[in-house]
Amino acid sequence: MTSPGSTASAVPEETPDAAATPAVPSPPAPGTADIDGPSGPVGAASEEHPDAVAPESAEPPDGEATVEERDAEPAAPAPRGRGGGEPAERVPDHDLVGALEAVLLILDNPATAADLAVAVGHTPQRVTAELEALADRYTSAGSGIELREIGGGWRFWTRDRFAPIVERFVLDGAQGRLSKAALESLAVVAYRQPVTRARVSAVRGVNVDGVFRTLTARGLIEEAGSDPDSSAILYRTTPLFLDRMGLTDLAELPSLGPLLPEAADLDQPLDSALDRALRPDDT
């Protein structure tokens, strides 16, 4: 027991522990960046370190794609026209069959599924599937129109069992009168036979492919071998042509001489034109 007068033993004062003292972060060296911590993103400047400099974003070398560009899926190329022009507009699914029928109706030659796909803006596989289904529907319905694929191309044809009806209509039906173009081409064939289509086209100055198909279908002209120089098909008139014209032989065709102008008549306009061109001006 201590006496009242005695002084209590002094309790030693606790000296601050250096480990318990919160560390004061030292400012970063100039030009360096702050490292990511709980308080913010990497390299972000803070109030405590206003001099912190954010690092520049890493740019890929020239010619190299970024990570986002490498991961992105390439876009499918849009269908383009035959000449490589503007991309074709995609026909809606509910109009696809109708669009294919419209294009097929105007074809003179079979068209491939790839060409039709360009026209409607769908893939060739989708177009082929629609064409096959359309052909089955025509056959199931007993239609006189048949959709066939021949040599890789699709086209409308008349069904075989209706061929006699079509032939009778073409030869003796409502299309009995020939157009002026057909009559002109037939006249050239009659007077220049055997002759090629190219020669008739050169005489008339227009394409005669369609006219020749009509004349051949009517039985008025027929093939007569090939030209030895160009290997083009030669055409001549048929006995039906003589019968329709009321002739027994081609020698009975009217002569073209009286219908052509005389050589002297052709020279007069030329002489007059030259005389006017060479005459000095009366000034």
The Cα–Cα gap between 224 and 193 comes to 9
Report yes or no on 188 lying in a domain: yes
Burial of 88 (0-12, 13-18, 19+ CB in 10 A): middle
The pLDDT score that the predictor gives to residue 218 is 85
Same domain, 183 and 249: yes
- What CATH number should be reported for the domain holding residue 210? 1.10.10.10
Same domain, 191 and 250: yes
The pLDDT score that the predictor gives to residue 6 is 47
Two tokens, residue 228 = 């030895």
User: What's the chain's Rg over C-alpha atoms?
Assistant: 47
- Listed residues 137, 161, 185: the one ending a domain: 161
The pLDDT score that the predictor gives to residue 217 is 86
pLDDT tens for residues 229-280?
888 899 999 998 988 888 888 888 888 766 555 545 545 554 565 565 555 5
Same domain, 151 and 182: no
- Listed residues 161, 186, 221: the one ending a domain: 161
- Listed residues 161, 190, 209: the one ending a domain: 161
Number of domains in the chain: 2
pLDDT tens for residues 76-111?
454 454 544 455 689 999 999 999 999 999 887 889
Same domain, 137 and 186: no
Same domain, 213 and 186: yes
- Does residue 152 carry a pLDDT above 90? no
Greater confidence, 151 or 93?
93
Report yes or no on 259 lying in a domain: no
**To the nearest whole percent, how much of the chain has pLDDT over 70?**
57
pLDDT tens for residues 5-44?
444 444 445 444 444 445 555 555 555 544 444 444 444 4
Greater confidence, 173 or 188?
188
Report yes or no on 131 lying in a domain: yes
pLDDT mean across residues, the chain: 73
The pLDDT score that the predictor gives to residue 174 is 47
CB atoms within 10 A of CB 53: 14
Look at 80-84, 132-136, 158-162, 251-255 and tell me which has the smallest mean pLDDT. 80-84
pLDDT tens for residues 200-234?
998 888 889 889 998 998 889 999 999 888 888 99
The pLDDT score that the predictor gives to residue 73 is 46
Report yes or no on 66 lying in a domain: no
The pLDDT score that the predictor gives to residue 94 is 92
The Cα–Cα gap between 54 and 75 comes to 36
Report yes or no on 250 lying in a domain: yes
Same domain, 151 and 213: no
What is the extent of the structural domain holding 250? Answer: 177-254
Report yes or no on 169 lying in a domain: no
Encoded amino acid at 80, one letter: R
Report yes or no on 222 lying in a domain: yes
Report yes or no on 133 lying in a domain: yes
